């Protein structure tokens, strides 16, 4: 899984929502971390699991420059210049939350935003409990399957899978060949066009909004450019299918990571088992819309 994250971070993104939060998080998420970091005592050590390019640490050093931060991620990162020459911040790349190269009881506070839920919770929460000091705090912001972040992605994932399981791609290939052999105006090409349209219509009937998110409609418009030759169409279809495969892997991971009732119960049960006492377990809202869940607490003494 880390390979697509490595590729993503190498593109220089600051947050995992490159388009929506290009500089860093704002709004409810920023406010939440402001509250958290303001309340951490001076000179305390904070560990950020699934740190990415360090968005939460960047917020942390602005809010409370007296803290020491470690960012840990299984991906290869491309950290922004703001972290250069900061002796209170370090990053551990290509290290997993399930097996952290960190000493027992070495952190006062463990945080994670849209990170820890991607890991295997029985192992990673056991590790959190190991590295956190007695009476230390933990603060997790996690994805929720019903959130406005995850829900549209579930529709895209379902549409993408339906597209691959349908006859659409086969019909599109046949239309490419028909166009090359018989031209735009022939009756055979017309039949092939109708077949493709009816295949697309049956997917759109069930997955209208998700289909847009797969970019198939935009791709179709592009590839049907009458000036394109067969070779060009075939090569563009190959690129589209590769991107769709990547999107399906990424969104499957997101959906698997997001809290549903079962996963939430697993998480809270494990916290208890590892001596991590819950203080907050609540939804986070932005403009009245639920965007995730905030889970925090302390390690028992
Ligand atoms: C959605 S991004 C979140 C990045 C950042 N915390 C943010 O809020 O923008 C998830 C990150 O978790 C990392 N990750 C996934 N599984 C992990 C694991 N088992 N151990 C450590 N990091 C992991 C990924 O590499 C990725 O960088």
The backbone region for 294, taken as left when phi is positive above 0, alpha when psi lies in -120 to 50, beta otherwise, is beta
Q: Is the CB of 115 under 6 A from ligand 1?
A: yes
Residues 168 and 204 in one domain: yes
Residues 54 and 182 in one domain: no
In angstroms, what is the span from residue 111 Cα to ligand 1's centroid?
12
**pLDDT at res. 202:** 96
Q: Is the CB of 75 under 6 A from ligand 1?
A: yes
Residues 191 and 91 in one domain: no
Domains in the chain: how many in total? 2
Task: Tell me which residue range forms the domain holding 276.
Answer: 2-147+258-299
Cβ neighbourhood burial of 34 (10 Å; 0-12, 13-18, 19+): middle
Residues 13 and 94 in one domain: yes
Residues 200 and 250 in one domain: yes
In angstroms, what is the span from residue 196 Cα to ligand 1's centroid?
39
Residues 143 and 154 in one domain: no
Residues 47 and 81 in one domain: yes
Closest CA to 210 of 176, 173, 166: 166
Residues 201 and 243 in one domain: yes
Tokens of 77: 């990162």
Which regions of the chain are under pLDDT 50?
none
In angstroms, what is the span from residue 49 Cα to ligand 1's centroid?
7
- Distance from C-alpha of 216 to C-alpha of 222, rounded to nearest angstrom: 10
DSSP, collapsed to helix, strand or coil, labels residue 138 as strand
Query: What is the value of pTM for the model shown?
Result: 0.91
Q: Is the CB of 53 under 6 A from ligand 1?
A: no
> With contact defined as beta carbons under 8 Å apart, do 223 and 237 qualify?
yes
Q: Is the CB of 137 under 6 A from ligand 1?
A: no
**pLDDT at res. 2:** 53
């Amino acid at each position: 899984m880390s390979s697509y994250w490595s590729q993503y971070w190498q593109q220089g993104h600051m947050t995992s929502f490159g388009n929506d939060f290009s500089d860093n998080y704002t709004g409810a998420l920023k406010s939440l971390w402001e509250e958290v970091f303001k309340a951490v005592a001076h000179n305390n050590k904070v560990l950020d699991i699934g740190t990415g390019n360090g968005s939460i640490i960047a917020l942390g050093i602005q809010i409370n420059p007296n803290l020491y931060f470690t960012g840990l991620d299984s991906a290869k990162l491309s950290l922004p210049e703001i972290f250069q020459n900061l002796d209170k911040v370090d990053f551990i790349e290509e290290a997993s939350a399930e097996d952290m190269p960190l000493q027992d009881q070495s952190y006062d506070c463990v945080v994670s935003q849209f990170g820890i839920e991607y890991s295997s919770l029985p192992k990673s929460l056991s590790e959190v409990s190991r590295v956190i000091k007695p009476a230390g705090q933990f603060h997790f912001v996690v994805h929720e399957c019903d959130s406005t972040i995850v829900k549209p992605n579930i529709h895209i994932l379902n549409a993408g899978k339906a597209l691959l399981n349908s006859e659409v791609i086969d019909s599109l290939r046949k239309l490419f060949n028909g166009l090359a052999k018989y031209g735009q105006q022939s009756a055979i090409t017309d039949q092939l066009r109708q077949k493709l349209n009816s295949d697309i219509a049956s997917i759109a009937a069930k997955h209208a909004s998700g289909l847009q998110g797969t970019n198939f409609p935009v791709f179709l418009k592009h590839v049907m450019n009458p000036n394109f030759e067969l070779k060009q169409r075939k090569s563009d279809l190959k690129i589209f299918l590769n991107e769709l495969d990547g999107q399906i892997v990424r969104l499957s991971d997101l959906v698997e990571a997001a809290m549903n009732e079962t996963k939430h119960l697993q998480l809270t049960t494990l916290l208890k088992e590892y001596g991590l006492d819950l203080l907050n377990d609540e939804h986070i809202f932005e403009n009245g819309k639920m965007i995730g869940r905030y889970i925090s607490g302390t390690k028992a003494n």
